[in-house]
A and B are shown apart, each in its own frame.
Chain A
Amino acid sequence: MKVTRPKLSWWERTYFPAILKGLAITLSHIPKIKKRVTLEYPEVRWALPPQYRGAPILLTGLDGNEKCTSCKLCEFICPPRAIRIVAEETSLEKEKRPKEFDIDMGLCIFCGYCQEVCPVEAIWLKDEYEMADYDRTNLIFNKEQLLARGRKPPYLPGREKPLEEPK
């Protein structure tokens, strides 16, 4: 199929129709101004879908301990090698737990592979996306920080209640 070039009439070659048509299209958008497509971030936030892939965090089990059994599958699968785990024995039923569990958020690419492979659903990609910092060393989250982030209710980097959805 050949694309065809339009033949411009003499009137169109005067540049006026281009300007007028452009203005007409812009003006026709004014009645639609109520249907805004932009948000006034950070006052207004967009509604994230439940499967949103934000920062990975660690989840706590019902017994108050971390769910992770230190199987190191997430450490293996993580493509940029952002996870570092040191395992230790425990008297709990699961027998093994992470002594240290660091995720370098500066390396993490939020791919969700760790969540996909974890056999006990201990690591989860939450809806947190504001992690900028002036110092890269602050971006390495240790086990306590990750567990604390996991306990926070969703949608709220540092806030108490979910922000309302954009209208």
Chain B
Amino acid sequence: MNRTTVDRERLGLNTELVTVNMGPQHPATHGVLRIVLTLDGEVVVSARPDVGYLHRGIEKICETMTLHQAIPYTDRMDYLAPVVNNLGLAMAVEKLVDFQITEKCRVMRVVCMELGRLSSHLLWLATAGLDIGAGTVYFYAFTGRERIMDLFERMSGARFTVSYGRIGGLARDWEAGIERDILKVMDLTKDAISEVDKLLTRNKIWCDRNQNVGPISAEDAIDLGLSGPNLRAAGVEWDIRKAYPYLGYDRYDFEIPVGEHGDCYDRYLVRMEEMRQSIRIVEQALKEYDPSGPLFPTDPASQKVFLPRKDRVLTKMEELIHQFIVATEGPKTERGKEIYFSIEATKGELGFYLVGSGTNVAHRCHFRSPCFVNLQALPVMVEGQMVADVVATVASLDPVLGEVDR
């Protein structure tokens, strides 16, 4: 893997190792990541990622409040695709309390998940390009992402921290005709992706900066617990959407892109292809979308999980009482029941481990965040490489420090 070795003896140089801190306030570390690098000249001898600068104790906070209240906190984990976290937690709680969502809600969630993936990958593309010096890409990718943010604003009322998932459904229904606008945005996103593709894929400078940089073998990737696009770039075909389908992903026709070399360039190609596949899924899902269906189930047994409809609360006494009961006592979990539920988030396997307490507060909440696990592969990838490649490798790993530290 070593691209360069300094033969000190032969050169007769008296060199010594230098330790430098990259970060935590470094623009190319995507947040507050500190990497302690030991350098021999320009060659990295060891790299030690140091995390925890953004630790807020989200898991513990979520244990102090009802599971319904925990949803906005998940926004602040992977803040590049908040909707994916919201829906992940909502689905985990639904598994804990055995709840079935409606068909319309399922379709809407699939679309939201894939829009979240697109927005996150577009931001990755923008910043990874910028880190390596391809500044133009930044603007095209961000323009594409902006359109998706506009869609989220129309769906949920917020652009960024959407808090759109709710246990049992979604925060609000889509306005009429938004599905046409989503399709329009998908067409524009396709154009944006192909434009970036034209700029970068066959660009000799981009190839030089990415090919054979930060490589990892498939065995190492599995041993280190990598997941998501980083694992697939190393040549392992593993996607939870296919392996353990949730939200009916098995009905959709899409492919898992797999790389070969596990270097930055393959990670780039895999993510680009994933975006195209996401657009395919959105288009297929929107064909099934039926605006007239119910967002929440109507059978009486499931009414204890989500808030009743607002117009009924304002006019009917029983629903008003019901509103108070649901808001304060929420979905009751079974005492001691444990579940683990994982989804293919934008960065990899996002897992939720919940233990019921007999009330609507979880006894234990643990989130398996993909970025935290992915980051531990950094030393394997960069040791023996040049110091400038560390920037490219960190960018291609796509860590979000909000999720690493939680």
Question: Are B69 and A21 in contact (CB-based, < 8 A)?
Answer: no
Report chain B residues within 8 Å CB of A14. Answer: 204
Main SS at interface, chain B = helix
Question: Are B204 and A8 in contact (CB-based, < 8 A)?
Answer: yes
Residue of B nearest to A26 (CB): B136
Per-residue B-contact encoding for A83-115, CB less than 8 Å = 1, 0 else = 000000000000000000000000001111100
Residues of B whose CB lies within 8 Å of any CB of A are 65, 68-70, 72-73, 136, 143, 146, 153-154, 156-158, 161, 163, 171-172, 195, 198-199, 201-207, 211, 255-260, 265-266, 269-270, 273, 307, 310, 313-314, 320, 323-324, 327-328
Question: Are A117 and B163 in contact (CB-based, < 8 A)?
Answer: no
Q: Is the C-beta of A137 less than 8 angstroms from some C-beta in chain B?
A: no
Per-residue B-contact encoding for A28-56, CB less than 8 Å = 1, 0 else = 00000000010000000000010111000
Q: Is the C-beta of A136 less than 8 angstroms from some C-beta in chain B?
A: no
Q: Is the C-beta of A116 less than 8 angstroms from some C-beta in chain B?
A: yes
Report chain A residues within 8 Å CB of B257. Answer: 1-3
Report chain A residues within 8 Å CB of B153. Answer: 49, 52
- Number of A positions contacting B (CB below 8 A): 38
Question: Are A79 and B143 in contact (CB-based, < 8 A)?
Answer: no
B86 to chain A, nearest CB (A): 11
A70 to chain B, nearest CB (A): 14
B97 to chain A, nearest CB (A): 19
Give 18 A-B contacts (CB < 8 Å), ordered by A residue: A2-B259, A6-B202, A8-B202, A17-B204, A18-B205, A22-B199, A25-B195, A26-B136, A51-B156, A52-B153, A53-B156, A71-B324, A76-B327, A79-B73, A112-B171, A117-B307, A117-B323, A121-B314
Select A2's contact among B198, B260, B324, beta carbons within 8 Å.
B260
Report chain B residues within 8 Å CB of A76. Answer: 327-328
Q: Is the C-beta of A61 less than 8 angstroms from some C-beta in chain B?
A: no
A37 to chain B, nearest CB (A): 5
Report chain B residues within 8 Å CB of A4. Answer: 269
Q: Is the C-beta of A12 less than 8 angstroms from some C-beta in chain B?
A: yes
Query: Can you add 15 more A-B contacts, CB < 8 Å, to A22-B203, A109-B72?
Result: A1-B257, A2-B258, A3-B266, A15-B205, A17-B202, A18-B205, A21-B203, A49-B157, A52-B158, A71-B324, A76-B328, A77-B69, A79-B65, A113-B69, A121-B310
Report chain A residues within 8 Å CB of B157. Answer: 49, 51-53, 112, 125
Per-residue B-contact encoding for A50-66, CB less than 8 Å = 1, 0 else = 01110000000000000
> With contacts A25-B199, A109-B161 known, is A15 near B255, CB below 8 A?
no
> With contacts A1-B257, A22-B199, A79-B73 known, is A117 near B273, CB below 8 A?
no
Question: Are A111 and B313 in contact (CB-based, < 8 A)?
Answer: no
Report chain A residues within 8 Å CB of B199. Answer: 21-22, 25
Question: Are B204 and A12 in contact (CB-based, < 8 A)?
Answer: yes
Question: Are A37 and B204 in contact (CB-based, < 8 A)?
Answer: no
Q: Is the C-beta of A161 less than 8 angstroms from some C-beta in chain B?
A: no
B173 to chain A, nearest CB (A): 10
